[in-house]
């Protein structure tokens, strides 16, 4: 496993991009609107996503402010066999809270597990293996 990204929700995507890119010197790596889900994802970081962990900025349309308590989203881990990984996590007593399958507004295969404190960890299928 390896760390892919950390997601945070932002109220004003333009201001956030200005901060992360212009002030902190990160690069906008990719940005995509999801009209059916009414959100935009922007990924920023210091290097290519294939070589570095990055930050996912999620802007939910119509939401301009978050409390810090709900601003943090999840940590993501890349896995080659998402189904086998979830089985191993369950076998070891871990809690899978979203079974592997395509994301709601896309085709990427994801799952979520929950740590003892309730924080969510997203697993993302990184190879072409789907079952």
Q: Are 61 and 81 in contact (CB under 8 A)?
A: no
Report in angstroms the alpha-carbon separations of 65 from 42, 59, 75, 86, 125: 17, 10, 21, 34, 31
**Taking the CA of residue 104 as centre, how many other CA atoms within 13 Å lie in the half-sphere pointing to its CB?**
7
Single out the catalytic residue among 38, 49, 80, 122. Answer: 122
Is 122 an annotated catalytic residue? yes
Report in angstroms the alpha-carbon separations of 20 from 6, 26, 75: 14, 6, 18
Any idea which residues carry the catalytic annotation? 122
């Amino acid at each position: 496993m390896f760390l892919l990204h950390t997601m945070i929700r932002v109220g004003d995507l333009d201001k956030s991009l200005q901060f992360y890119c212009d002030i902190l010197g990160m690069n906008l790596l990719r940005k995509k609107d999801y009209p059916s889900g009414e959100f935009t994802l922007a990924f920023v970081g210091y290097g290519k996503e294939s070589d570095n962990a990055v930050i996912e900025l999620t802007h939910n349309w119509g939401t301009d402010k978050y409390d810090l308590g709900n601003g943090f989203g999840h940590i993501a881990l890349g896995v080659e066999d998402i189904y086998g990984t979830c089985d191993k996590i369950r076998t070891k007593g871990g809690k899978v809270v979203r079974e592997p399958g395509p994301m709601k507004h896309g085709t990427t295969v994801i799952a979520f597990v929950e740590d003892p404190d309730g924080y969510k960890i997203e697993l993302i299928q990184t190879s072409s293996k789907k079952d």
